[in-house]
Amino acid sequence: GEPLILSEKCIGCLKCVKVCPAAALEMFFTPEEQRILEELAKQQGAGAAPAEEVDEEEAALAAKLSAYRDVWVFIEQTEGEAAKVSWELLGVGAELAKSINVALCAVVIGEGVGHLCQEAFSYGASKVYLLDQPVFHYYRTEPYLNAFCYLIDKYKPEIVLMGATGMGRDLAGAVATRVKTGLTADCTGLDVDDKRNLRQTRPAFGGNIMATIMCDKFRPQMATVRPHVMPMPERRPAASGEIVHESCAINEADILTKVLEIIKDTKGQGVDIAGAEFIVSGGRGMMAPENFSLLQELADELGGVVGASRSAVDAGWMPHERQVGQTGKTVRPKIYIACGISGAIQHLVGMQDSDVIIAINRDREAPIFAVATYGIVGDLFQIVPAITDRLRELKQ
Ligand code: FAD
């Protein structure tokens, strides 16, 4: 029959005419209606003006952001020795630089640190900004902050990466605040989207979700990454690049912090679990501190070190320096042996990138088995000594 048009609701927009699948609708207007419709169309046109303004805003933002280029990695050093995480960051930095077609640059700040430029080239940087002055001998927030911000203002990097170490966390936070940009701490994944925004992925809500964070309105985009999260890039000793010698007018007398003496921390007994190739870790299932000697014996056979879950650390069985996980260290050994550790997400985020994971647990439902390469269901007090004995036999 005749299509029914409700005249009190119809605004004459013609949408129904266009969408009618049977093309069954027609609409005619009196000259007066036609005049009203044209008037309405004009008003809508005027209403569209703000959209153009938004476009202008977007264009201004794009112009502001495009002034920033290159990927920078801060080369953290103490007494002229670089932290390994800096080289790991050059590895991921190279991939980012390649994907947005810019240069990978290193920033070396210190005194007597020129030799680190060649090291930076060998790990993939094509340019190094070098600030070599006595005032930078020891790391102190103030002079390093001033120096880094001076470089950012002058050379405008698009992305800045630092290690999530004591020094990197301190400097990155201060720099991001001073230059008014965003900073994502402890990233576990970094890549770039099609609008050149850095996608910064990190665990959130106690490790229960992975959040990808972007800083799309400010530059540089800053991120820190913990040691051992990114793989070491290949070292090419013959590589070369450009050194940009810079200096920054900073007066020692104006700096409030003075380093009087360096006292080495001996509490961790010099054991670096983060750099170990073999780790034997114990959790609450170890039952008592003296039982960790079982793990030490196995670690000794492997040439490795003993680690711990937070429960074992909280119980006072192991020092905090040995803790693996979200609030401990991130490790990436060749072999990680988890003994009496259930595999809570906060533990897993610290060790799941190990090459081989061996889990020993008497509960076959324990979540640690989900990430384990080899799972042994049974009593660790029988299994651990049996493995140690077998290794000793093999060595004889
Ligand atoms: P449990 O979960 O109690 O597991 C003990 C395991 O031992 C059990 O699976 C049991 O079956 C097994 N077991 C017992 N006896 C034996 C036996 N004889 N033989 C074999 N197996 C046995 N945890 C960390 O480890 N690192 C962190 O950095 C960390 N950070 C955290 C941060 C936050 C914000 C929060 C909320 C928690 C954090 N935790 C961390 C704690 C984490 O949630 C777990 O509580 C902790 O990892 C559990 O430690 P566990 O596996 O040793 O103990």
Q: What are phi and psi of 363, to 5 degrees?
A: -100, 110
Max Cα separation, the chain? Answer: 106
State the first-to-last Cα distance of the chain, in angstroms, to the nearest integer.
98
The pLDDT value recorded for residue 34 is 81
Q: How many CB atoms lie within 10 A of CB 396?
A: 4
- Alpha helices by DSSP H, listed for the chain, are 15-19, 31-47, 49-66, 84-99, 115-122, 141-155, 166-179, 292-302, 310-314, 345-348, 368-371, 380-395
349 lines ligand 1 (CB under 6 A): no
**Rounded distance, CA 370 to CA 194, Å?**
34
CB-based burial of residue 394 (10 Å sphere; 0-12 exposed, 13-18 middle, 19+ buried)? exposed
Predicted local confidence at residue 266, as pLDDT: 65
Residue 129 β-bridge partners? 107, 244
Cα 164 to ligand 1 centre (Å): 24
> What element of type H or E holds 81?
strand 81-82
Q: 183 forms bridges with which residues in the sheet?
A: 222
pLDDT one digit per residue (tens) for the chain, 396 residues: 555 677 777 777 778 877 877 777 777 778 887 888 788 778 776 665 555 566 888 889 999 999 999 999 999 999 999 999 999 999 999 999 999 999 999 999 999 999 999 999 999 999 999 999 999 999 999 999 999 999 999 999 999 999 999 999 999 999 999 999 999 999 999 999 999 999 999 988 766 788 999 999 999 999 999 988 899 999 999 999 999 999 999 999 999 999 999 887 665 566 889 889 999 999 999 999 999 999 999 999 999 999 999 999 999 999 999 999 988 999 999 999 999 999 999 999 999 999 999 999 999 999 999 999 999 999 999 999 999 999 999 988
H/E run at residue 198:
strand 198-204
Query: How much distance in Å is there from the Cα of 282 to the middle of ligand 1?
Result: 9
Bridge partners of residue 335, in order along the sequence: 278, 356
Q: Is the peptide bond before 157 cis (omega within 30 degrees of 0)?
A: no
Ligand 1 near 333 CB (within 6 A):
no
Distance 356 CA to ligand 1 centre (A): 19
Pairing of strands 159-163, 127-132: unpaired
Amino acid letter for position 16:
C
Distance 327 CA to ligand 1 centre (A): 13
Separation in Å, CA 60 to CA 53, 64, 69, 176, 197: 10, 6, 17, 22, 16
**Are 128 and 109 within 8 A, CB to CB?**
no
Q: Is the CB of 311 under 6 A from ligand 1?
A: yes
CA of 284 to the centre of ligand 1 (A): 6
| Token digits of residue 278 | 């073999």
Cβ of 352 below 6 Å from ligand 1: no
Give the Å distance between the CA of 336 and the centre of ligand 1. 15
Quote the CA–CA distance of 186 and 189 in Å, as a whole number.
9
- Structure confidence at residue 30 (pLDDT): 81
CA 155/CA 148 separation, integer angstroms: 10
Query: What is the CB neighbour count within 10 angstroms for residue 330?
Result: 22
Check if 281 has its Cβ closer than 6 Å to any atom of ligand 1.
no
Q: What is the pTM of this model?
A: 0.69
Contact by Cβ (8 Å): 299, 306: yes
Which amino acid appears at position 287 of this protein? M
Token pair 């390469």 is at which residue?
373
Is the minimum distance from the CB of 380 to ligand 1 under 6 angstroms? yes
Distance, C-alpha 242 to centroid of its chain: 27
